[in-house]
Amino acid sequence: MIRGGCGRSKVVTYATRVPALFGRNAFMPPTPPTIRCGPVTVTFRWIGDRWAHEVDVRGLGVWRSVEGPRADGDDRWPAAPVLVELAPLETPQGLAILGVGLAGRSHFSASIGPAPGTGGEVRFEIACRAVEPPVWLGSTYDHATGEVVMEPTAGPPPKLPATVRWAYSFGAAGLAPCDGTGN
């Protein structure tokens, strides 16, 4: 079991030896990778050909990542970043998860872990290396209040290839964009 906390309350236990990588061609953990930080719990689950995740914020409900193509059906630009390999990383704030994946000709990467200095938020930092003009980029979640979308704040990249970034966090107040997102 992989569990991570944040700040001084960090607790990490392993039911089995932790591999360097989780993914389709790597070791699958006996229980889903999980990050716990204050009121936030992020749990990853292997679904089909990728890792999906859900974020439970105590008292505010659960946000579930929407996987696969958006309504336009173009799976080169999925509703959420495609993550096919995850790697755990111990940080001073607690357990973080690093993820990578591919959709079409674009590569996705993610860093998900306790937000520094907050003591109760989990920050998602996402990047997409695009070699063709993106039709759409962002992270889509299903929540009891409806579909929620987090997108890069900057417009399309002026020159390709380019790396497009966006970041957001989950905390006691729910889901919020982080400063400094964009290209």
- Distance CA(1)–CA(3), nearest Å, equals 6
For residue 106, list its beta bridge partners.
Answer: 103
CA 18 to mean position of chain CA atoms = 20
Interval 4-49: pLDDT, tens: 445 433 333 333 333 445 655 555 666 789 999 999 999 999 998 8
Q: Which of 66, 13, 5 is nearest to 39 (CA)?
A: 5
Interval 76-117: pLDDT, tens: 899 999 999 999 999 888 999 999 999 989 999 999 999 988
For 183, residues 6+ apart whose C-beta sits below 8 A from its C-beta are: 152, 154, 155, 157, 162, 163, 164, 165
- Distance CA(19)–CA(57), nearest Å, equals 28
| pLDDT reported for residue 155 | 81
pTM metric for this prediction: 0.84
Q: Which percentage of the chain shows pLDDT scores above 70? A: 81
